[in-house]
Amino acid sequence: MDWKRRHVLGLADFRIEEMEFVVDTARSMEEVLTRDIKKVPALRGKTVVNLFFEASTRTRTSFEIAGKRLSADVVNFSSSTSSVTKGETLLDTAKNIEAMKPNIVILRHYASGSPHFLSRFVSCSIINAGDGANEHPSQGLLDLYTILKAKGKINGLKIAIIGDILHSRVVRSDLHSLGRMGANLWLCGPATMVPKEMERTGAKVTYDIREAVKDADVVMMLRIQLERQKTAYFPSLREYSCKYGLNRAVFSLAKEDAVIMHPGPINRGVELSDELADSAQSRILNQVESGVAIRMALLYLLAGGHDAAH
């Protein structure tokens, strides 16, 4: 297969073979990360801009390290320190950055669809690093890769995703990546946070964590977004934790070799008990590791010599 894609805006239109191609490329990248000298010259002379309009440490750092491992020049641009606070529009900010001739812009923005919008006006490649509640494609790919490494396959696995499904862009990308690869997906959380319409994606919806976790191969916990607490999606954190938190007793319903995942950051003691977060079944840090390899793969694939590249 030849990689023809110029942007990675979401996994909604990704073909299975494209996802497999990214994962295969990531496997080669992972070898680079095992060396003493963790750097290859593939993206020498390319510039990657991290354009982040929302707080992020993990994703931004992951992209930054990925770019540096490939010898790209990585520039970080975050809204709190930029002229965005002075009233500049997204398009103006992007046009200004484009004038500095980057090859790839990695965009995180609170408005769904903003990377799609930008991609129509700039000539560099765009990677969506999370847009509102829409998608987070690199997370969807790294979850796919992490599960492949843990289980050797996706097809037929029961994967339970538990938490704030409504606001989660991770879930939307995972539905595309894991769903399309044949996983048996279960979505679970309080009814206010799990829209029944999610069943149209082919996933099963339940409000009972035990039903979701029973015989699961993978249990993926989502962060309860404390900043959204004011809107009262659930009565109290304590009640949420009792009904939808994962602890040893609930997790024992899953398959014996089941693994636990979490896109981070974890609220320890809320959605996930301390004990499980640090257990041998946890693949949370493997996700972070896979993330760098997946992002290296995406940067490498997008840095090809298509016409628009500078």
Partner 1 sequence: MLDGSVSGNPQIPVAAEKGGKCAMKKASRKVILDAKGMERVLSRLTHEILEKNKGAEELVLVGIMSGGVPLSKFIREKIRAIEGMDVPAGYVDITLYRDDLSRAGYQPRLKRTEIPFSIDEKKVVLVDDVLFTGRTIRAAMDALIDFGRPKNIQLAVLVDRGHRELPIRADYVGRNVPTSRNENVDVMVQGEREEWKVILREPAPAKGE
Q: How many CA atoms lie within 13 A of 104 on its CB side?
A: 32
Backbone angles phi, psi at 154, to 5 degrees: -120, -40
CB of 303 to partner 1, least distance (A): 7
Which of 151, 140, 127, 215 has its CA nearest to residue 175?
140
Closer to partner 1 by CB, 195 or 304: give it: 304
CB of 4 to partner 1, least distance (A): 6
CB of 70 to partner 1, least distance (A): 8
Closer to partner 1 by CB, 235 or 304: give it: 304
CB of 225 to partner 1, least distance (A): 36
Give the separation between CA 137 and CA 176, rounded to whole angstroms. 9
Binding status of residue 266 toward partner 1 by CB under 8 A: no
| H-type alpha helices, 122-280 | 137-151, 169-180, 209-213, 237-244, 248-251, 274-277
Q: How many CA atoms lie within 13 A of 214 on its CB side?
A: 5
Q: Are 286 and 294 in contact (CB under 8 A)?
A: no
Binders of partner 1 among residues 270 to 309 (CB under 8 A) are 300-301, 303-306, 309
Binding status of residue 42 toward partner 1 by CB under 8 A: yes
Closer to partner 1 by CB, 69 or 109: give it: 69
Binding status of residue 24 toward partner 1 by CB under 8 A: yes
Size of residue set near partner 1 by CB under 8 A: 29
In the list 36, 197, 227, 257, the residue contacting partner 1 (rule: CB under 8 A) is: 36
Place of tokens 């669809």: 113
Which of 244, 195, 253 has its CA nearest to residue 221?
244
Closer to partner 1 by CB, 28 or 96: give it: 28
Binding status of residue 123 toward partner 1 by CB under 8 A: no
Binding status of residue 265 toward partner 1 by CB under 8 A: no
CB of 290 to partner 1, least distance (A): 16
CB of 40 to partner 1, least distance (A): 4
| Distance in Å from the first CA to the final CA of the chain | 24
Binders of partner 1 among residues 43 to 72 (CB under 8 A) are 45-46, 70
Give the separation between CA 48 and CA 63, rounded to whole angstroms. 9
In the list 29, 49, 97, 224, the residue contacting partner 1 (rule: CB under 8 A) is: 29
Closer to partner 1 by CB, 28 or 192: give it: 28
CB of 74 to partner 1, least distance (A): 17
| H-type alpha helices, the chain | 16-33, 58-69, 90-98, 114-119, 137-151, 169-180, 209-213, 237-244, 248-251, 274-277, 284-302
Residues that bind partner 1 (CB under 8 A): 1-4, 21, 24-25, 27-29, 31-32, 35-37, 39-42, 45-46, 70, 300-301, 303-306, 309
